[in-house]
Structure 1
Amino acid sequence: AALREIVRTWTRLGKVRDGIARLEAEKGRVAQGVREIMASHDKAAAKTHPELAALRERGRSLREQLRVLEAEESDLEQRFYLGALQLPNRTHPAVPVGDQSQARLLEVVGEKPVFDFKPKGHLELGEGLDIIRQRRLSHVSGHRSYYLSGAGALLQHALVTFTLRKLLSKGFLPMTVPDLLRGAIFEGCGVQPSATPSQVYTIDPARFEDLCLAGTSEVGIAGYFMDHAVQLQDLPVRVVCSSTCYRTETDTGREPWGLYRVHQFTKVEMFGVTAAERGTESEELLDEFLGLQKEIFSELGLHYRVLDMPTEELGLPAYRKFDIEAWMPGRGKFGEISSASNCTDYQSRRLNIMYSGEGG
């Protein structure tokens, strides 16, 4: 139903624009007629010319018709834009159809650790070692926040450094990005800051108009390339960025404690910009990124599985998405630790990200 309404809006918008073009052309002819009369007669004679009054009346009528159509055009453009923002990307034909339960298992890597005792969870271990603090923080930073200290803080820095070194050795361009970005950048990436509920924190518009906190450095990196043309010979561009991510995480009731699904965390992001000369470049880069993720997690000694995510888990921008879930002994189940998506041209069209070769 939503798609049909978008098509109807676009069809009507085309007709309105055609009508505006016809009226503007006629208005130009009327104006030319008035100028010719004024040029070929003196002022007194022109005022009494039989055609002048008719032309001026027609001009007033055309301006009124244009006023009405231009107002409709503005309304239709807004409706079409807002509707089109809700449209998802196409979907790879091999993607499973359905919800999360339909995810296709592609690979299991490593051996599940076996203990002769009940393993403790990460929060219990961290609190026992005094390297994680999450309790008694409601008066400091609110629910779902935490502190890392001592070895906990060093472990986070070490993981970030390990990953950055790995990716820099593979030719990635390091980047830092703003945490605060305009809503249009989020929308161009397929994120809806104004949705209800939304994963995006919006800054008080009474003080700072149209600024949101990024839930991933993907948004900031995409904004870097917005309205920008990359040279074909420089593609693909591979970018790596470590940033603080902010997410409202509306569905936290199932796990009220721990460092899973928190409001603020540090993440290393891989981002790629490819050409589309052969039509397979973005799929090839997705496979490359997935291979790098597997390499990193294998070197860390994790037991994990790779999933081909189904249609209802792709969000708006992804054409295909692979999730990696690691076995978490304290939770007694697998949990997502990374995701890799191919967004094809979904974001580049919305953000006007281009590339040019020798012929432009």
Structure 2
Amino acid sequence: MIDLRTLREDPDRLRASQRARGEDDSIVDSLLELDASHRSALSSFESLRAEQKSMGKSVSRSSGAEKDALLSRAKELAAQVKAAEAEAEALAGRLDAAVAAVPNLVDEAAPHGGEDDYVVLEEVGAKPSFDFEPRDHLDLGERLGAIDTERGAKVSGARFFFLTGVGARLQLAMLNLAMQQAVEAGFVPMIPPVLVKPDAMRGTGFQVEHDKEIYHLPEDDLYLVGTSEVPLAAYHADEILDTTALPLRYAGWSSCFRREAGSYGKDTRGIIRVHQFDKVEMFSFCRPEDAAEEHRRLLAWEQAMLAKVELPYRVIDVAAGDLGTSAARKFDCEAWIPSQGRYREVTSTSNCTEFQARRLSVRHRGEDGKTRPVATLNGTLATTRWIVAILENHQRADGSVVVPAALRPYVGLDVLEPVKK
């Protein structure tokens, strides 16, 4: 959540952030009013409680009529203290709920605008040139015996699939390569739970009551994660981290689940937009002053992986209106998809500053002995969607696909050949 000190000391910054996101900036005035009411109620409660304590001492020293009067006043005071405490707690609850609904402050360097107002930072690699009509990933995958969406739909419904044979080998190769790179860079490998409690979802920045993308198991009140960012963010909840050990970097390998509730009719062919996929996700806890530099590091590690699988791609700076609730700034890498003649997102890295850590109470102790929230960042290192780009960019006229050199030791093949039927 946002820092209340920022709200009090620089409300115009929050107003500007809300406008950049395309959100209502009048919430700032409502928050200021609620915060002032809460502080006033808290002050009244503390003043009455102090008087109550003083009254107790006076009663013990008095006698006769004076004592009777003081006892009567003490009874009155007890009721007032109880009422004042209840009012302060109620206002605190309303303030917490209101603040929790406000997204993170947008980095001032992020482009303004909506989904189509991103800024292209760089384009890397040459787009493939074919002397034949390139097939799409599903056509290639079916010929290779790598992807089976028909049986996926039969077993589980639309937007589910089987990775079979070389398809499964290709995914395992890609994710193992990503994990190896992460370990070499100093990340701690993790296989986190994919079912989490509501506090973990809310703490990471998801509005679970209104988010239609999340799968919920009501009987257990658990949520299937759409990214291992969630369990990794909550891993150190309610802890004080050793400042000298920062940054703490984790690489989580997990299956991920998304309902894709708002994507009816979009990307229905193949495995671009599906309900279940696998991913290796980087996650970092660092000092807030180091977050911007750490963000660039995560992007560089993503680019290193894309270079290893030999994909042409571009890096975009996502506009403020297209940022998620927790992100202050986000960079996406988009790979070229020949069959569509356009770039599609394959990685994303977000700087969430102190937003998630404040919600999850993840802190570090400064040189002055005081505890402060850390910063959190995340970034995709490899995911199932990469199969789309790998198959399409490395295809040959006969329907075979050349395996990128870095993946060959893991796949065990140099070329994926069509299956004879």
- Fold equivalence (TM over 0.5): yes
Map 1:130-145 → 2, pairs under 5 A? 130-135=145-150, 137-138=152-153, 140-145=155-160
1:334 equivalent to 2:359? Answer no
Q: Distance in 2 between matches of 1:327 and 1:12?
A: 53
Q: What corresponds to 1:214 in structure 2? A: 225
Q: Contact conserved, 1:326 with 1:335, CA < 8 A, in 2?
A: yes
Deviations 1:265-311 (CA, angstroms, capped at 9, x unpaired): 101101111124xx2x1111111111111111012110100001110
Map 1:1-360 → 2, pairs under 5 A? 1-37=26-62, 49-135=64-150, 137-138=152-153, 140-195=155-210, 197-204=211-218, 207-209=219-221, 211-253=222-264, 254-276=266-288, 279=289, 281-356=290-365, 360=369
In structure 2, relative to structure 1, the CA distance for the partners of 1:9 and 1:170 (3 Å cut) is same
Q: Distance in 2 between matches of 1:326 and 1:73?
A: 53
Q: Distance in 2 between matches of 1:137 and 1:179?
A: 21
Q: How far 1:257 moved relative to its partner?
A: 2.9
Larger Rg: 1
AA aligned to 1:89 is N
RMSD, aligned α-carbons: 1.9
Q: Distance in 2 between matches of 1:201 and 1:295?
A: 33
Determine helix, strand or coil for the equivalent of 1:287: helix
Q: Contact conserved, 2:253 with 2:278, CA < 8 A, in 1?
A: yes
AA aligned to 1:115 is F
Q: Contact conserved, 2:151 with 2:161, CA < 8 A, in 1?
A: no
Q: Contact conserved, 1:193 with 1:199, CA < 8 A, in 2?
A: no
Deviates more, 1:303-312 or 1:329-338: 329-338
Q: Contact conserved, 1:99 with 1:313, CA < 8 A, in 2?
A: yes
Number of residue pairs the alignment of both structures matches: 343
Q: Contact conserved, 1:217 with 1:269, CA < 8 A, in 2?
A: yes
Deviations 1:141-173 (CA, angstroms, capped at 9, x unpaired): 232211111111111111100111112111111
Q: Which runs of 5+ in 2 are unaligned?
A: 1-25, 370-421
Q: Contact conserved, 2:153 with 2:161, CA < 8 A, in 1?
A: no
Q: Contact conserved, 2:45 with 2:81, CA < 8 A, in 1?
A: yes
AA aligned to 1:165 is Q
Q: How far 1:137 moved relative to its partner?
A: 4.5
Q: How far 1:15 moved relative to its partner?
A: 0.5
Q: Distance in 1 between matches of 2:149 and 2:60?
A: 78
In structure 2, relative to structure 1, the CA distance for the partners of 1:20 and 1:356 (3 Å cut) is closer
TM-score by length of 1: 0.89
Q: Which runs of 5+ in 1 are unaligned?
A: 38-45
Q: Distance in 2 between matches of 1:77 and 1:314?
A: 28
Q: Distance in 1 between matches of 2:213 and 2:86?
A: 34
TM-score by length of 2: 0.77
Deviates more, 1:59-68 or 1:317-326: 59-68
Deviations 1:201-247 (CA, angstroms, capped at 9, x unpaired): 2221xx324x2221111111111122223323322222111111112
Q: Contact conserved, 1:202 with 1:213, CA < 8 A, in 2?
A: yes
Q: Distance in 1 between matches of 2:365 and 2:81?
A: 39
Q: Distance in 2 between matches of 1:138 and 1:328?
A: 24
Q: What corresponds to 2:20 in structure 1? A: none
Q: Distance in 1 between matches of 2:132 and 2:310?
A: 20
In structure 2, relative to structure 1, the CA distance for the partners of 1:138 and 1:151 (3 Å cut) is closer
Determine helix, strand or coil for the equivalent of 2:208: coil
Q: Distance in 2 between matches of 1:216 and 1:233?
A: 28
Q: Distance in 2 between matches of 1:162 and 1:136?
A: 28
Q: Distance in 2 between matches of 1:137 and 1:284?
A: 42
Q: Contact conserved, 1:233 with 1:357, CA < 8 A, in 2?
A: no
Q: Contact conserved, 2:119 with 2:316, CA < 8 A, in 1?
A: yes
Q: Distance in 2 between matches of 1:34 and 1:6?
A: 42
AA aligned to 2:341 is G
Determine helix, strand or coil for the equivalent of 1:20: helix
Deviates more, 1:313-322 or 1:86-95: 86-95
Q: How far 1:64 moved relative to its partner?
A: 2.3
Q: Distance in 2 between matches of 1:162 and 1:213?
A: 25
In structure 2, relative to structure 1, the CA distance for the partners of 1:5 and 1:357 (3 Å cut) is closer
